[in-house]
Chain A
Amino acid sequence: MDAKLKETILNPIFKGNPITVLVLGICSSLAVTVTMKGALVMALSVIVVCGISSLILSLLRNTIPGRVRIIVQLVVVAMMVILVDQILKSFEATYAIDKQLSVYIGLIITNCIVMGRIEAFALGNKPWPSFLDGVANGAGYGLILLIVAFFRELLGSGTLFGVDVLGWLGYTPNNLVILPPFALILLGCIVWVQRSVQKDLQEK
């Protein structure tokens, strides 16, 4: 694998993470991180939507009329989001989680990461790198989601993936952790950690 492709995959996961560095997709990262299960399903959904939309639009990139390109992007992304939603609704295992995430699956379409990557990368690159870029950005988003959800479910419910972890120790769940403001505090901490490790992100 050449260095450029490797960079395409690795950059969004840490150095150029869409949430902590580009500060995109904050809204949904506050909303769906109450449980690990919800965060995982959301992360996988965004990876699928982001990857496949990038692939499709990269394949179409030379045929899309410049004046309506945003609308064409929107149509393709909307199609992918609806497909993901329909498929989640169809399986017994994911029906309940789809209901729990309710509007947030549909709102993937408004996640700036998806259209942002298509506009910035997929429309100017070949299909394979575009697909990888979409998947990697989805994964970078998902990684932060899972980190936040890990602390919120552990401290807020005393469970992980619904399995009792702290309850038997007599831990009393902290209700503040369940509320969105705590997700913002956690996100702030993650940004803080990342900036102290990665000095070039610090403003002079």
Chain B
Amino acid sequence: MNTNSNIYTIIYTTIIVALVAAILAFVSQGLKSKQEANEKADTISQMMTAAGFATKADLQKMGNTAVLAKYAEEIDNAFTVGLDGKKIDDLDLDQVYSPKDLKKQNYKIKDGSDAEIPVFIFKNGVTVVPVYGAGLWGPVWGYIAFEPSSNTIKGAYFDHESETAGLGAKIKDDPAFQAEFSGERADFTTANVFDIVKGGAPRNADGTSVIDNKIDAITGATMTSNGLEAAIDTWLGAYAAYFKIAAPQGGDCCGDGACEEGDDCCENKNAEEE
């Protein structure tokens, strides 16, 4: 047979491509549930890392079933809120938002339309909310945990799809970067809820970070740092109305003096005034 005729070539390539497509579609369907289970356990372990229950590496060692069980033990309440901060609907306690779900809501937040963004509250009162945005090469996302009824950040965990290893990938791989978030405060009164600053965030005389809404950016990863900052500003901005209701004191602290004695934020302010 003449394998170089046009007809043969067209028929041959058509069959090969259709066959390969069928095999891939079949395998993809067959493995979908397993992949989604892995993704869900991964998402949950990211939230629990942010909330400070364990480190990501430890959760990974525990295996999917144990992670799900621990989450079921710790989670207290999960629901969605609108951009006006009002609760829209309850979520099932085993339901989480995968990066794909976050992407959908990200468009809605930017449109200012009917976004339904999730809030996860653990039994110890820690509130976890997601953030999502564009890094340099692909999406970046993460979870930020707040102390009970407060705008003080307890911890954060970030992940990415394809940032540069050793540079932008540090948002995920560098524990020091994520640790910088702990103890800082989100400022829900402005559009710049949180800043990732080039050239160094303000420091106290003893070298510790000033408790404000600023942390250091990653050297050599300006685009990823900017992308992550935009993601945090967009999403925490969307939660601002919710936090003004859920953490009124934390939100207004130092603004109109509605804070208590011994509050970190107020101590800083007092120190400045003196």
Residues on A lying within 8 angstroms of B by beta carbon are 31, 34, 62-68, 71-72, 75-76, 78-79, 82-83, 86-87, 89-92, 95-96, 99, 102-103, 178-180
Query: In the docked arrangement, what's the CA distance between A99 and B17, Å?
Result: 28
Query: In the docked arrangement, what's the CA distance between A31 and B60, Å?
Result: 23
Chain B residues near A64 (CB, 8 Å)? 3, 12
Flag B82-103 by CB within 8 Å of A: 1 or 0 each: 0000000000000000000000
User: By the criterion CB–CB under 8 Å, are B35 and A86 in contact?
Assistant: yes
| Residue B38, interface by CB 8 Å | yes
Chain A residues near B13 (CB, 8 Å)? 65, 68, 71-72
A sample of 9 cross-chain residue pairs with beta-carbon separation below 8 angstroms, ordered by A number, consists of A31-B165, A64-B12, A65-B13, A66-B3, A68-B12, A72-B16, A86-B31, A92-B64, A102-B162
Query: In the docked arrangement, what's the CA distance between A92 and B68, Å?
Result: 13
**Smallest CB–CB gap between B232 and chain A, Å?**
22
User: By the criterion CB–CB under 8 Å, are B28 and A86 in contact?
Assistant: yes
User: By the criterion CB–CB under 8 Å, are A68 and B23 in contact?
Assistant: no
Chain A residues near B35 (CB, 8 Å)? 86, 89-90
User: By the criterion CB–CB under 8 Å, are B63 and A65 in contact?
Assistant: no
Chain A residues near B38 (CB, 8 Å)? 89-92, 95
Q: Which residue of A lies closest to B35 (CB)?
A: A89
Q: Besides the contacts A64-B3, A95-B38, what 17 more A-B pairs have beta carbons closer than 8 Å? A: A31-B165, A34-B165, A63-B3, A65-B12, A67-B4, A68-B12, A72-B12, A79-B23, A82-B24, A86-B35, A89-B35, A90-B31, A91-B34, A91-B38, A92-B41, A92-B63, A102-B162
Give me the 5 closest cross-chain CB pairs, A-B, nearest first: A90-B34, A65-B9, A95-B38, A90-B31, A79-B20
Of A67, A72, A96, A178, the residue contacting B60 (CB under 8 A) is A96
Query: In the docked arrangement, what's the CA distance between A80 and B4, Å?
Result: 26
Residues on B lying within 8 angstroms of A by beta carbon are 3-4, 8-9, 12-13, 16-17, 20, 23-24, 27-28, 31, 34-35, 38, 41-42, 60, 63-64, 161-162, 165-166
Query: In the docked arrangement, what's the CA distance between A95 and B31, Å?
Result: 13
Of B16, B23, B42, B166, the residue contacting A95 (CB under 8 A) is B42
Asked, given contacts A75-B20, A79-B24, whether A65 binds B8 with beta carbons under 8 Å apart, the answer is: yes
Chain A residues near B3 (CB, 8 Å)? 62-66
Chain B residues near A103 (CB, 8 Å)? 162
**Smallest CB–CB gap between B46 and chain A, Å?**
11
Chain B residues near A68 (CB, 8 Å)? 9, 12-13
**Smallest CB–CB gap between B158 and chain A, Å?**
13
The secondary-structure label for the interface of chain B is helix
**Smallest CB–CB gap between B55 and chain A, Å?**
13
Chain B residues near A63 (CB, 8 Å)? 3, 12
Asked, given contacts A90-B34, A95-B42, whether A76 binds B166 with beta carbons under 8 Å apart, the answer is: no
The secondary-structure label for the interface of chain A is helix
Q: Which residue of A lies closest to B159 (CB)?
A: A99
Q: Which of A65, A72, A75 has the most CB of B within 10 A?
A: A65
Query: In the docked arrangement, what's the CA distance between A103 and B162, Å?
Result: 7
**Smallest CB–CB gap between A118 and chain B, Å?**
14
User: By the criterion CB–CB under 8 Å, are B16 and A86 in contact?
Assistant: no
Q: Which residue of B lies closest to A71 (CB)?
A: B13
Chain B residues near A79 (CB, 8 Å)? 20, 23-24
**Smallest CB–CB gap between B45 and chain A, Å?**
10
Chain B residues near A78 (CB, 8 Å)? 20
**Smallest CB–CB gap between A161 and chain B, Å?**
14
User: By the criterion CB–CB under 8 Å, are A179 and B166 in contact?
Assistant: yes
User: By the criterion CB–CB under 8 Å, are B162 and A67 in contact?
Assistant: no
Chain B residues near A95 (CB, 8 Å)? 38, 42
**Smallest CB–CB gap between B10 and chain A, Å?**
9
Asked, given contacts A65-B3, A96-B60, whether A75 binds B31 with beta carbons under 8 Å apart, the answer is: no
Chain B residues near A66 (CB, 8 Å)? 3-4
Query: In the docked arrangement, what's the CA distance between A90 and B29, Å?
Result: 11
Of B9, B23, B31, B162, the residue contacting A89 (CB under 8 A) is B31
Query: In the docked arrangement, what's the CA distance between A92 and B9, Å?
Result: 42
User: By the criterion CB–CB under 8 Å, are A178 and B166 in contact?
Assistant: yes
Of A34, A65, A179, the residue contacting B4 (CB under 8 A) is A65
Asked, given contacts A92-B38, A179-B166, whether A76 binds B31 with beta carbons under 8 Å apart, the answer is: no
**Smallest CB–CB gap between B49 and chain A, Å?**
13
User: By the criterion CB–CB under 8 Å, are B4 and A75 in contact?
Assistant: no
**Smallest CB–CB gap between B76 and chain A, Å?**
27
